[in-house]
Amino acid sequence: MRLLLARTSACDRRTIRRALGVEPQDFVVALIGSYQPGKGHTLLAETVGSILEEEPRLPLKLLLIGFSDHGQARRLLDSVDTATRRALDPRRLVPVVCDLTPYYAASDAFVMNSQGPGENFGRVTIEAMAFKLPVLGTNAGGTPEIVVDRITGLLHPVDISGQKELAENIRLLLKNPKEATAMGEAGYRRVHERFTTRRFDAEFDALLRELFTDEL
């Protein structure tokens, strides 16, 4: 499994954040995935919008990546209510891109908000952890096997009912930067301990040896 490596600098982060309309003090939560109902983009926008409606002065920004084109992003903007519109800025509604590195670098937390059965294996979750981002993920599918709740991130239930807990988790990280940093560091260590190509190859080789041994 080939992952993006965290290769950025303070200058890169400042540059991309400026292009996204983000101030140095802002806390950016990002969701990366093809835009479709099951990925939870709109739910997250509604959640962030509700937070900003209750606390308009919070330095909270939302970054959504994965639209098929700018027209699809515009249709989202046109379809939401006033509260949700607070969370959305055209500069931070990004179509599918080949290189996600600058967007991970610009973010402060990563959201895996997939609904229903969740993600079988969220590669972007691993990549976000490689960039030392704490992960706010749904407690479904393979995400709980990647994210250690309260250690490398915070988990919330699927469906609308889980968005209230997600809102609380966003507030917690925004208002406790040291805790967010500690979770990001723990996630980085977990990636390098458990999700490397070397470990995958070794475990796959061991599995094949076991299978072939059983057949003999």
Per-domain residue ranges of the chain:
10-215
The tens digit of pLDDT for each residue in 153-166 reads 999 999 999 999 99
In degrees and rounded to multiples of 5, residue 100 shows phi and psi of: -90, -5
What's the CATH fold of domain 10-215? Rossmann fold (3.40.50)
Cα–Cα distance between 110 and 127 in angstroms, integer?
Answer: 10
Read off the pLDDT band of 204 (50, 70, 90). Answer: very low
The tens digit of pLDDT for each residue in 60-101 reads 999 999 999 999 999 999 999 999 999 999 999 999 999 999
The tens digit of pLDDT for each residue in 120-137 reads 988 999 999 999 999 999
- Residue 17 reports pLDDT greater than 80: yes
Place of tokens 């939302």: 62
Read off the pLDDT band of 7 (50, 70, 90). Answer: low
Region label for 132, one of left (φ > 0), alpha (ψ between -120 and 50) or beta (otherwise): left
